[in-house]
Amino acid sequence: MARKILFVIHGIAQRAPDDATDKPRVAADGWHIDLIHNFIALAGKHAPGVDIGLNPGLDGVKIVPLSYCDLLIEQLERWDSLGDKNVADAVAKQFPGVPAELVNVLRDISTADAPYFWKGGVDILLYRVFNDAAIRSHVRSQVTRALFDNAVNGVLPSCGFITHSMGTAVMHDVLAEIFANPQEFGGFVNMDIDIYVSLANVSKVLENVANPQKSPVRPFGAPGIGRARCRSFVNAHHDSDPVPFLGLFKPDWDTATTPYRDVRIERIKEPNTHSYQRYLENPRVWVPIFRTLLETSISKQQADDLIAEYDATPAAACPQALDDLCQAVKGIAEAWKNRAGAVGTWQFVVELTKARRVIDEARQQCFGPGGGLGSVI
């Protein structure tokens, strides 16, 4: 039995290779490989005494990758007009019950932007609008199974969560639903969360089960509804990542009186500023995880030195591309801030699709035609 569980959940755009025979299973089983390999390598360097991995010993920290991309890919495989350049008409055909005014929002996705919708934006619609309950149930079963399998005499192991992009919304909704229904979920409502990490949080704009800025999935001492469940909460966002600007997650939690840390990242190392790996390799993010879940002693001076060392590593050798990206993101953020009319999932999907194209174009400008987004966003 592992002593602690570290759950890691993905965001959008997890896909399998074209030649995979079982694309849903291959994507679900493989999305985490590089991410977790690199995280374990960090632990080996900075927390060598901690037994952490996918299959640790009895007193170790078990990493459990969570997935829901398999359900999304299954849906996409049944979509006859998958890849259609006319996104709005393709959605209307697949889901004829959707009101025309919502479909019309998608008409702002150009034919040039359409590939970025099918490689990511569509995931948000499939979750938030059409399959939220099924996806929550799917992820919840993975969480409860891991906790149950590692319980000792009915006592659940303490745990942590690392979430990214749309995964911040999915994971919040799963936990908020569990905490709100003790009669249905029994002892699982008492799970002990050492740390909750959100990277490029979009849970507010995709608000579903509960307001993520008021729900129990918040740090101890923060105002809200129901008992706060997180001993520590880290929210990280990059100044040149357009997604957090669109995500609207700005809780009024006091960093002086609650274990909440709002991590603002300014230094840009490469155009994919939304990359899960880039967020997680930053010591501003992993040091709090090591201190809490891994119980590793890292002093403030040591943390400052690690951050300075990380920041000093050279950026990609394409300063013009990086500068162009920064300016483009500023424009996206300003336009979103000054938007007119109601904002919801459909508007978010349109703007996210455009933002993905901006990042991809910067990567191609930086690394050449083969340097696109791939599956790293």
Whats the size of the chain, residue-wise?
A: 377
- Round to whole Å and give the CA distance between 376 and 277: 8
Band (pLDDT 50/70/90 cuts) for residue 370 is: low
- Round to whole Å and give the CA distance between 46 and 32: 21
* pLDDT tens sequence across 225-246: 999 999 999 999 999 999 998 9
Q: Which residues contact 142 (CB under 8 A, 6 or more apart)?
A: 64, 66, 67
- Residue 48 CB burial class (10 angstroms; 0-12, 13-18, ≥19): exposed
- pLDDT value at position 376? 41
The verdict on residue 26 lying in a domain is yes
- Round to whole Å and give the CA distance between 132 and 304: 41
Residue with tokens 């960093």: 255
- Round to whole Å and give the CA distance between 275 and 338: 26
Reference 115, options 352, 348, 358, 357; nearest CA is: 357
Using N-to-C axis directions, what is the helix angle for 283-292 and 300-312, rounded to 10°? 150
Band (pLDDT 50/70/90 cuts) for residue 339 is: confident
The verdict on residue 98 lying in a domain is no
- pLDDT value at position 301? 97
Angstrom CA distances, 24 to 54, 60, 66, 73, 297, stand at 21, 30, 13, 6, 40
- Residue 30 CB burial class (10 angstroms; 0-12, 13-18, ≥19): middle
Nearest 5 degrees, angle CA 60-CA 232-CA 176? 95
* pLDDT tens sequence across 14-47: 999 999 999 999 999 999 999 999 999 999 999 9
- pLDDT value at position 375? 38
Report the number of distinct structural domains present in the chain. 1
pLDDT above 50 for 49? yes
Phi, psi of 65 (to 5 degrees): -75, 130
Rounded to a whole number of angstroms, the distance between the first and last alpha carbons of the chain is: 33
The residue range of the domain holding 58 is 4-83+130-315
Query: Considering the chain, what is the average pLDDT of its residues?
Result: 93
The verdict on residue 107 lying in a domain is no
The number of beta carbons lying within 10 Å of the beta carbon of residue 289 is 23
The verdict on residue 345 lying in a domain is no
The verdict on residue 333 lying in a domain is no
- pLDDT value at position 186? 84
SS3 label, residue 265? strand
- Round to whole Å and give the CA distance between 71 and 135: 7
- pLDDT value at position 374? 45
Beta bridge partners of 160: 6, 195
Provide the CATH number for the domain around residue 24: 3.40.50.1820
Nearest 5 degrees, angle CA 154-CA 156-CA 157? 140
Band (pLDDT 50/70/90 cuts) for residue 377 is: very low
Residue with tokens 């079963």: 141
SS3 label, residue 39? helix
pLDDT above 80 for 343? no
* pLDDT tens sequence across 155-179: 899 999 999 999 999 999 999 999 9
- Choice between 38 and 131, residue whose per-residue pLDDT is larger: 38
The verdict on residue 365 lying in a domain is no
- Round to whole Å and give the CA distance between 255 and 240: 23
Share of the chain above pLDDT 70, in %: 97
* pLDDT tens sequence across 275-310: 999 999 999 999 999 999 999 999 999 999 999 999
SS3 label, residue 301? helix
- pLDDT value at position 14? 95
pLDDT above 80 for 366? yes
Q: Which residues contact 248 (CB under 8 A, 6 or more apart)?
A: 202, 204, 205, 343
* pLDDT tens sequence across 59-103: 899 999 999 999 999 999 999 998 999 999 999 999 999 999 999
- pLDDT value at position 221? 96
- Round to whole Å and give the CA distance between 148 and 150: 5
